[in-house]
Structure formats: structure tokens, C-alpha cells
A and B are shown apart, each in its own frame.
Chain A
């Protein structure tokens, strides 16, 4: 089961939080490869970014599948990335006080951005009759 090391006594040989993190990196990584490549093809190949307008989102999010898809992308990318940041902080910040401070800050960032993204995805309701331009031309 998940055991968080307190740094005292023998290191757990397996099954600790770091082992779970190790597996999580790999599982989320494999899923992200597919999710991100499809996302990039939709936004940069089959459409141009100049056409990924409010109207485009309205059509896309009419189907709950794409909301779920984007939420999965948000959740996996954010947790995978923040877990990476956690390891970078552990690697370079040697003072325990600064480390706790920065890790706490990272945790707050994770929760804040996860909530912001999730709320945006759930809350989106197109403004009736005012979808704006199909493509932007500057």
C-alpha cells in the first residue's frame, strides 16, 4: 500500500509512494502520448489555430465526449507534470524548510489549476446566438 517515507529507519524496498509515482509516470505517460498527439493533430493539422475559435469550441463541446477527452488530458498532463516538478524540487532544494515551502506551493498550484480547468470544462455554456467568428484573420 501507499506509505510515505518519513526519512527515518529502513527505506521501503517496494510499494512506497515513490514506487506508485514511478508507475504513475509510465502509465500516464503512455496515455498522454496518444491523447496529446490526437489533440495536436486536431488543433494544428486538421484545423488551424486561427480557427479554434469560440464557435469551434461550441461545436466541439456540444459532444460530451470531447469535454471528457479534454478533462482527461488536463488531469493526466497536470498530475504527470506536477509530479515531475516535485522530483525537480526534491533534487535541487537542499534546505528542508525551502523544500517544504516549495512543495506546498506546488501542491497549491496543482489544486488551483486543476480546479480552474475542471470548472471551465464543466461550466462552458455557449452564449445563445453569439458564437463569434469562424476563423480569425489579423
Chain B
């Protein structure tokens, strides 16, 4: 039995996250190449990554990266660790658990500057008039 089991899902997730990360890599190489056009153009490009929608996309990307990386470790353990095959299913549970656990602080770090900074700035701004 392979179809519908954890092995199929880990394989499918590895493939989808990998292709998604590659797509972002192409975008990222292009946005970094804006450096060649000077500070105004580059900062206009970076401003895009500051928007809440792109921050949410960044979160999805980081989640995909963590899943792909931890599942990659799982694949290597299956390949090189003598007990890897026996524990492949429980290792997949660990992969998903690590991804979810790592995702929680990531949500804070990526969204907090956008969500809380304006509120904090407003609260501490001294009204001079």
C-alpha cells in the first residue's frame, strides 16, 4: 500500500513545495536585480514585500521551506540511517509537527512589524500640536 498513505503525501508535498520555492527563487532573483537601477527603483520593489498580502505569501513560502527542509532530512535519514525505513512514517509525523511548531513564531516575526508597529507608533507619538 502506497497510495493515500503518508509516503504518498510526503512525496507530493515535497514536490509541490519544491516547485513553489523554485518559482519564488525566480521572482527573488529578478527583484534583487533591481539593485542595478539604484536606490529609488530597488526600494520601490522592496515596498511590495512590505504589503500585508505579500507578507502572507512570504509566510506560506517560509512554511513550504521548513516542510521541504525537514522532509529532506527525513529522506536522508531513510537513505543513510539503518532504522530510517522502519521509522519513515513516524518521522513524517515529526516533519509535520516541526513545520507547524516553527510556523507559530514565524507568523509573529513576519506579521508583527506590519500589524503592531503602526499601533505602537501611534501610542507613543508625542502630540506636539
> What residues make up the interface of A, taking CB atoms closer than 8 Å to B?
26, 29-30, 32-33, 36-37, 40, 44-45, 48-50, 52-55, 57, 74, 77-78, 81-82, 84-85, 88, 109, 113, 116-117, 119-120, 123-124, 127, 130-133, 136, 138
Q: Is A132 in contact with B39, judged by CB distance below 8 angstroms?
A: yes
Q: Is B113 in contact with A50, judged by CB distance below 8 angstroms?
A: yes
Q: Is A120 in contact with B32, judged by CB distance below 8 angstroms?
A: yes
> What residues make up the interface of B, taking CB atoms closer than 8 Å to A?
15, 18-19, 21-22, 25-26, 29-30, 32-33, 35-36, 38-40, 42-43, 46-47, 49-51, 55, 58, 62, 65, 69, 72-73, 76, 79, 106, 109-110, 113-114
Q: How far is the CB of B11 from chain A (nearest CB, A)?
A: 11
Q: Of the candidates A36, A74, A85, A124, which one forms a contact with B29 in the assembled complex, judged by CB atoms under 8 Å apart?
A: A74
Q: Is B25 in contact with A136, judged by CB distance below 8 angstroms?
A: no
**9 pairs, A vs B, C-beta closer than 8 Å:** A37-B69, A49-B58, A55-B39, A57-B35, A85-B22, A113-B26, A116-B29, A136-B43, A136-B47
Could you list 4 further interchain pairs (A-B, Cβ under 8 angstroms) beyond the known A50-B113, A88-B19? A53-B42, A54-B46, A55-B39, A57-B42
Residue of A nearest to B41 (CB): A54
Q: Is B32 in contact with A36, judged by CB distance below 8 angstroms?
A: no
A54-B42, A78-B25, A120-B32 known; A45+B50 contact, CB < 8 A: no
- When distances are taken between beta carbons in the complex, the residues of chain B under 8 Å from A132 are 39-40, 42-43
Chain A interface main SS type: helix
- When distances are taken between beta carbons in the complex, the residues of chain B under 8 Å from A53 are 39, 42-43, 46
- When distances are taken between beta carbons in the complex, the residues of chain B under 8 Å from A109 are 26
Docked CA distance A138–B114 (Å) = 10
Docked CA distance A54–B43 (Å) = 6
Q: Is A26 in contact with B76, judged by CB distance below 8 angstroms?
A: yes
